Structures are given as structure tokens and as C-alpha cells.
Structure 1
Amino acid sequence: MGARKDQSTSYSRLTQEEVEAFCAQWGINLKFNPVAPGLDKSIDQCLAGSIALYCRHFEFSNLRHPFSIFVLNVLEYYRISFGQIHPRGLARILHFESICRAAGYDSSLLSFRRFFRLAKNGDWFTFEKSQVDTCLISSMVTTLGSWKDRFFWVSESIIPFKMIWRHPDAVLNELEPSDSELDSWFLKSISACPSRLRPFPEPVLVLMGISKLWDKPDVVFTDVASAKGEDVGSWF
């Protein structure tokens, strides 16, 4: 992907040691050749044969490696790279997958497009509520902290397809799917309880199969111990 003059000029402040420590923490194998970009490369100036990942995608958006098939399907469909997605936009993709799994449904592109649509957020892309009235998010964590200057390169072999750097002028969305294209019970159950957009505790992500950082325990959600004053349902 070539550099664009109108792209953000933020540079990564991570050292190579910090990148490798981050990858060890979040389960990214060093065989994918994680590299600190240095202070002379912006997010859109990725090394040949590599893609860019933001640290906040893991810390805030609930992204885990191996990446879920659903997340990869969304990126491939919209022809967009991880390096172009605002953390809140990626968080909405994984939030949708999480609530689908919690409700016992398989997440799909068709159902995702019913509730979310691609949008621009400055030099980045995000996902926002679609034009359909139902909103799946009741509230969200508003503080992201520093994120634009914390990114790194990894080998493009970490993705099973050629990731595209989306052109900023490409058409954003097709028309949202209608009620008749989706299961009515799915629409009813997933819309019944809007939930908070937030980083989920690791045990919840492990139980749902989104995270493989830990071995999946032989428990169900009702067995998960809750903190004083909080029940498991409040995580969703």
C-alpha cells in the first residue's frame, strides 16, 4: 500500500522490545515477524509483505489471535485493513460476535449489516449504527487513551487472504438486509437487551471461543464468579 498525503501522520513510539513483549502478552507468535516501525513510518507506510496492527485493537476492542473467522470475513467483505479501523469500530464487530455467541447464534455478514454500517472517522474507518431503528449498544467506554502512536507491523501471512488498503472514496455500504432475509427469532433475541461496548474480561472471551490465550475451562457462564456488586449478565 502506498503512502497517502492525507493519511494521519502519527508515528509509532514502540521499541522493538516493547513490540515483542506485547506480542508475547497477546498470543502473537514471533514467527509472524513483529516489527517496530520506528519514528519515520506512518500507519499507511507498511513494510512490503506486512500489515499493521494497533495495540488498542487488543486492549480495547477485544481482538485476539488467532483472529476469528467472522472478523476476517467482515474485513474481507469491506476490503479494509486493520490499520484503517478505529478501535471503536473494531470493537463493534467483536461486540456483535460476542452477543451472537452469547445468544446461541452464529454471527454472519448478513446479520451484521442489519445493525452496523461502515463510516468514516477522520482518516480512519469505523462502524456505526445502521439506519435500522434497533441499537444493540446501550452505552460505551468513552476513554480510549493513546492509540494512534502505538502500532506495529506483522507478516501478512497472519491473515489467510490479501488484505486490502481501502480507498477513502470507495462506496461505503450496500442497503441493509430486510426482516425477510433474517431469522425473526434471531432479530428478536439479539435486540432484546442492548449491552455496553467495553473490553470484556478474558474469562468471558475464552468461554465464547474468541480468545485462545488460556485453555477453555469446563464451565458455563453461570459458573463464572462475579465481583462484589456485579453479576455476569452485566458484562453484556
Structure 2
Amino acid sequence: MDEENPQEENPSEEGPLRVLKWDLGLFEHITRGFRFPREWDARYPGQNQTAADALPGYITLFEDFFLQGNFRLPATEFMAHILHYYGLHISKMSPPGMVRVRHFDFLCRSHDIEPTVERFRVFYQLIRNMGFYSFGNRASAKKILLNHL
């Protein structure tokens, strides 16, 4: 870190943001398939844009949110609680982080358990990579398997 500015991040730790590599056909499939209303004005990223290059008033959402994380708009209340607790904007969440949140949400609901931030924090901790946030396994969380026969 810079001695004069301790808040400045070390760029060698973060690395540059990767250029978005959406396919136009996939973008159209997602916006139509997930029924994005026209008034949302979803935009395909321009050539050489990164996730940080969204136009003013727009946010970046990754294809993996939808295709691998089973994310849908509008977001669930649990997702809103997670974002609020950690003080994150959804555009700062990485696709693997989204997958973990949605997976936890589904697992809880499939067992008739209300997903809460407190329960989520038992298993996961916030991590940061390349300027985006995700959730890693909390080392102290015991791995268990229950057989309900």
C-alpha cells in the first residue's frame, strides 16, 4: 500500500478488470427468455468494456447470474437482505458469489427454513477478488450430511 494514502488498493493484488465477453445471441436469449420488460432498456456491452464501464443509471449483471446462479429479476428479499447487510450493490457481486447466495436460498427453502443473513454467515464469509465480492466457505463451519430416511 502507498504510505501516503493507506486507503489506496494495491493494483498488483487486484489485477485489471476483464473485458466482458457476452455473446450478442446469448444476451438476446437472456433478455427475451427471462422476459426483461422493454422499460428496463437492457443494453449489450460495447467492445472492450469491463463491468465497471456501465453507463450512468445502468448496472452490470453477468450472464452467469442468470444461467448458473438461477438469478431472476426482481431479486428475492433474501438477496436484498444480503446486499444490504454487506453494503453491496448487486453490480459489485461476482457470479460465484451470486451462485452461493442463490444456492443457500434454495437449500433453505427446500427444507422449509427461512433463509436469513445470520444463517448464511454461519457458513460463508465475504471475500473480494478483482474489485468484486463473493462468498467463501467459513473455515469454522463444520461440514455435515444429514440422512433423513
Give the Cα separation in 1 of the matches to 2:44 and 2:118: 36
The two structures, once aligned, show a CA RMSD in angstroms of 2.5
Give the Cα separation in 2 of the matches to 1:9 and 1:55: 14
Give the Cα separation in 2 of the matches to 1:84 and 1:73: 15
Structure 1 position 68, deviation (Å): 0.8
- Check the 8 A contact 1:100/1:107 in 2, yes or no: yes
Query: In the alignment, which of 34, 38, 43 is matched to residue 30 of structure 1?
Result: 38
Query: In the alignment, which of 62, 70, 75 is matched to residue 67 of structure 1?
Result: 75
Query: In the alignment, which of 85, 102, 113 is matched to residue 110 of structure 2?
Result: 102
Give the Cα separation in 1 of the matches to 2:23 and 2:146: 39
- Check the 8 A contact 1:117/1:129 in 2, yes or no: yes
Structure 1 position 25, deviation (Å): 0.7
Cα distance change, pair 96–120 in 1 and its aligned pair in 2 (3 A): same
Give the Cα separation in 1 of the matches to 2:34 and 2:95: 16
Cα distance change, pair 107–30 in 1 and its aligned pair in 2 (3 A): same
Give the Cα separation in 2 of the matches to 1:73 and 1:19: 28
Cα distance change, pair 68–114 in 1 and its aligned pair in 2 (3 A): same
Q: Name the % identity.
A: 21
Cα distance change, pair 193–52 in 1 and its aligned pair in 2 (3 A): farther
Unaligned runs of 5+ in 2: 1-10
Structure 1 position 90, deviation (Å): 1.2
Q: Which has the higher helix share?
A: 2
Please name the residue that 2:124 is paired with. Answer: 116
- Paired residue secondary structure (2:59): strand
Please name the residue that 1:76 is paired with. Answer: 84
State how many pairs are aligned.
135
Please name the residue that 2:52 is paired with. Answer: 44
Unaligned runs of 5+ in 1: 136-190, 195-232
RCO greater where, 1 or 2, for CA within 8 Å and sep 6 or more? Answer: 1
- Check the 8 A contact 1:13/1:39 in 2, yes or no: no
Q: Compute the TM-score of the two structures, normalised by the length of structure 1.
A: 0.51
CA deviation map 1:22-42 (0-9, x unaligned): 211123222211001211421
Q: Compute the TM-score of the two structures, normalised by the length of structure 2.
A: 0.77
- Paired residue secondary structure (1:128): strand
| 1:8 corresponds to 2:22 | no
Superposed, 1:66-215 pairs within 5 Å as 66-135=74-143, 192-193=145-146
- Check the 8 A contact 1:92/1:127 in 2, yes or no: yes
Q: List 4+ stretches of structure 1 deviating above 6 A.
A: none
Structure 1 position 13, deviation (Å): 4.3
